[in-house]
Structure 1
Amino acid sequence: MFYDPEVPERAYHVGYVAQSQTPYHNLNPGYRVYTIDGHYEDSSYRVLDTENWVLDLDEANENDNPRFYQLYSAKEAYGMTDLLPASWNNLVDQMKEPNSTVFDEFFKYYTKDARPYREEGCSEDCKSFILCRLVSSDTSDKSHCDGL
């Protein structure tokens, strides 16, 4: 998330980071498909939705039949009407609540539903670290991490 320097509580941009296609650090390989509003006069070129596809390595190794499947669509998974910065900021607000089921789903998607992370889970320190990374586009400024 990027926040307005003049109005620090206003999210004004989202930086999308595609997932790794390699099974780095106990993760399933995956890729992301972006749906963009574009290629017509006066289009916004905003991200309208993202689909995240993964390959379950445990399943592929067990069945010797690798297949990618859609893990989630951002709009559908989080019940968002749009992917504007304010909507993502509202999602972070929901995730920071204690015992947030929204965060639990986010963590599942964040870890590409990889078995090691499902088994390990995410402690409060883990949750704070992840949420802080979401709201800190500038690593030298952790002011948005307060209260997470």
Structure 2
Amino acid sequence: MVHLALFLAVMSLAVWVYALFDVIRADAGTTRILPKPVWTVIVLFLPKFGGLLWFTLGRPPGKALTTFGAAPPISPFPEYEHPNRARASTPEEDEEFLRRCRERAEAQRRRAREMQERQEQERRGRQARDQDGDELGAD
């Protein structure tokens, strides 16, 4: 009988510790019913029932848990990492998208050239005014 009580106590402790680490490891946005800090307090202060409540009511479904270890490398193009990002379903849609990208890039280049030309004209105008002011002051 003592062995059974000891076994149950050890199993209870193991479930509590596992649940506590599972709550800490879970992503805050994916916990169900209550926020992550509340689940942490529940599991911490109600060792026997808190862990069971966490596993039945609060644990994120499926693969929503974060993992320890090395983080995956950060993509240089994070806009491609969205699972529901729009994808062209036909080659024509893809060509249309690429055409619009080229047009937008060309418009940006044109605006940048115009801005550089304006800045260059302003700089020349300031230099001309400064030279005129120097010539008037020398007379």
TM-score range, shorter chain: under 0.3
Normalised TM-score (structure 2)? 0.17
Structure of greater Rg? 2
- Larger helix share, 1 or 2: 2
Normalised TM-score (structure 1)? 0.16
- Larger strand share, 1 or 2: 1
